[in-house]
Amino acid sequence: MLNNRYFYYLLILNGLVNSVNFVPRILVNKNGSLIAIFVAVVIGTLMIIFTTKAMQSFPGKELPEILEPLFPKFINKGMILFFSLHWYLFGAITLVSLVDITHRFITPDVNRLMLAFGLLALVIFACQVESYSVLVSIETILIVNIPIFLYFIIKIFSNEFFSWDTIREVVTDAADMPHYTAIAAASFIFTGYINLVVFNRLFKDLKVKKIWIIAISGLLLLLAAYLIPIGINGIEGVKHQVYPWLTTADSNRIVFFIIERLLFIYYLFYITVAVAATVLYWHVGLRLLQTSFFKKTGKKFNIKNLLLLLIFVAGTFFLIQLDQFNFMKITDWFIRVRLISEVLLLLMLFYAVRRAKKA
């Protein structure tokens, strides 16, 4: 019943939030990233096509309901636990890096834990609302933010110090073998479709038309995410940056405006999009766990839900107290494992479709 445009918001949100944080850092640090980007576009597009097709055979159903007839109960529950961990981890990683960025670049006066507490309070409230409301919030945030993002991109390309020569150098050196981590990172941009495991319930006849637009815009986004920091910071210089895009934004100045540093415009965009993404991913993770482990009609729902959220919060605080090096290691591992789990999920969906067709 829900308008199909909400599906694209899932894709756009995921693309935007990933194209600026972890993905560029991994891409600029590996050789052969340009090839990896093209490979990732192919993989990502195929994943979108296959998963949406598979999901369409189960209109109005969630992942736990789809898996139910396939395997014995405990395997199902284990799988859901495994998959929902991905969603939780992604939300937590985004949140923690948001705390780090804010503390480092924007308000060093505010205590990190205090900041984390504020963000968590908002996210915990927001991730518990109805799925439809989550989609509406995402829509609002994207519609407000996309103009800011476009302004940001235009501003950077019009920077007189943007070095096209460096980019030419990158393109001519592209013949290296792509690294698996780079492919996994680049394909992360397309992962927004995966949220269908929960939102499929709301879409009655989802049809993804003009898939090539998604592929091309994903490619452009990846190229921008990879090349813009290089164009500003240089091939070697960018490797020293933990947040390549933030330093890129901070090296730009707006001359004729009330706000002087472009960083803040960028930060305004990034924080809202990142909070929305965290809300989305935690909502999906929470929903998956709720539907398979304790039903909303159950008596002890509130207590169990509260316990689950406490675990969410505790995990986040664990990540916050890690140092940057270990934290980055965790995110890199997450990005590598993620692609495999995605393929695994797709295979399971295929199996489910076959079983459903036979029956």
Partner 1 sequence: MVIKVKTENEKVHEWLKQQLEDCADIDDRELKAGDKKAKIIYLKSVTDSQIINRFIITPFYETKDTKEFMEYVVSFPAEMEPKDQHEALSQLLKGFVIIFAENKYVAFQAKKMAGSGVTEASAEVNVQGSPDALTENLEVNLNLIRHRYQTANLKVELKVIGSISQSAAGILYDSTKVDNDVLKELKKRLDSIEAEVLITAGELEQELSGRKFHIFPTVVVTERPDRLVKSIEQGKIVVMLDKTKFAIILPSIFQDFFAAMDDRIQLPLVGWFLKGIRYAGLIATLSLPAFYVAFAAYNPEILRVQLTLMIAGSRVPVPYPAVIEVLLMLIMVEFLIEASIRLPKTIGPTATTVGGLILGTAATEAGLVGNVMIILVSAVAITNFVIPINMMNFSVRVLRYAFLLLASLFGLVGIVLGFVGIVVYLSQVRSFGRPYFNILADTNSRKGIS
Interaction site with partner 1 (CB under 8 A): 1-3, 102, 106-107, 109-110, 114-115, 118-119, 122, 125-126, 129-130, 132-134, 136-137, 139-141, 143-144, 202, 257-261, 264, 268, 271-272, 275-276, 279
Segment holding 104, helix H or strand E = none
User: Which residues, 6 or more positions from 139, have their beta carbon under 8 angstroms from its beta carbon?
Assistant: 5, 6, 9
In the complex, the smallest distance separating the C-beta of residue 126 from partner 1, rounded to whole angstroms, is 4
Residue 99, SS3?
A: helix
Distance, in Å, from the CA atom of 7 to the CA atom of 226, rounded to the nearest integer, reads: 26
Based on CB atoms, which residue is closest to partner 1, 120 or 349?
A: 120
Based on CB atoms, which residue is closest to partner 1, 141 or 348?
A: 141
Based on CB atoms, which residue is closest to partner 1, 223 or 271?
A: 271
In the complex, the smallest distance separating the C-beta of residue 104 from partner 1, rounded to whole angstroms, is 12
In the complex, the smallest distance separating the C-beta of residue 306 from partner 1, rounded to whole angstroms, is 19
In the complex, the smallest distance separating the C-beta of residue 263 from partner 1, rounded to whole angstroms, is 9
**Which has the closest alpha carbon to 284: 104, 107, 62?**
62
- Cα-to-chain-centroid distance, residue 256: 33
In the complex, the smallest distance separating the C-beta of residue 6 from partner 1, rounded to whole angstroms, is 8
Based on CB atoms, which residue is closest to partner 1, 144 or 340?
A: 144
Based on CB atoms, which residue is closest to partner 1, 143 or 314?
A: 143
In the complex, the smallest distance separating the C-beta of residue 278 from partner 1, rounded to whole angstroms, is 10
**Which has the closest alpha carbon to 214: 222, 203, 204, 224?**
222
**Which has the closest alpha carbon to 320: 330, 308, 310, 334?**
330
User: Which residues, 6 or more positions from 6, have their beta carbon under 8 angstroms from its beta carbon?
Assistant: 135, 138, 139, 199, 202, 203
Distance, in Å, from the CA atom of 359 to the CA atom of 355, rounded to the nearest integer, reads: 6
Distance, in Å, from the CA atom of 93 to the CA atom of 264, rounded to the nearest integer, reads: 22
In the complex, the smallest distance separating the C-beta of residue 81 from partner 1, rounded to whole angstroms, is 27
Residue 323, SS3?
A: coil
DSSP bridge partners of 253: 261
Based on CB atoms, which residue is closest to partner 1, 115 or 230?
A: 115
- Cα-to-chain-centroid distance, residue 266: 17
Based on CB atoms, which residue is closest to partner 1, 80 or 275?
A: 275
In the complex, the smallest distance separating the C-beta of residue 40 from partner 1, rounded to whole angstroms, is 30
* Ramachandran angles phi, psi of 261, nearest 5°: -95, 130
In the complex, the smallest distance separating the C-beta of residue 350 from partner 1, rounded to whole angstroms, is 28
Based on CB atoms, which residue is closest to partner 1, 132 or 293?
A: 132
* Ramachandran angles phi, psi of 143, nearest 5°: -65, -35
Based on CB atoms, which residue is closest to partner 1, 122 or 344?
A: 122
**Which has the closest alpha carbon to 24: 13, 33, 12, 11?**
33
Give the amino acid at 83: F
In the complex, the smallest distance separating the C-beta of residue 255 from partner 1, rounded to whole angstroms, is 9
Based on CB atoms, which residue is closest to partner 1, 45 or 137?
A: 137
Distance, in Å, from the CA atom of 333 to the CA atom of 331, rounded to the nearest integer, reads: 5
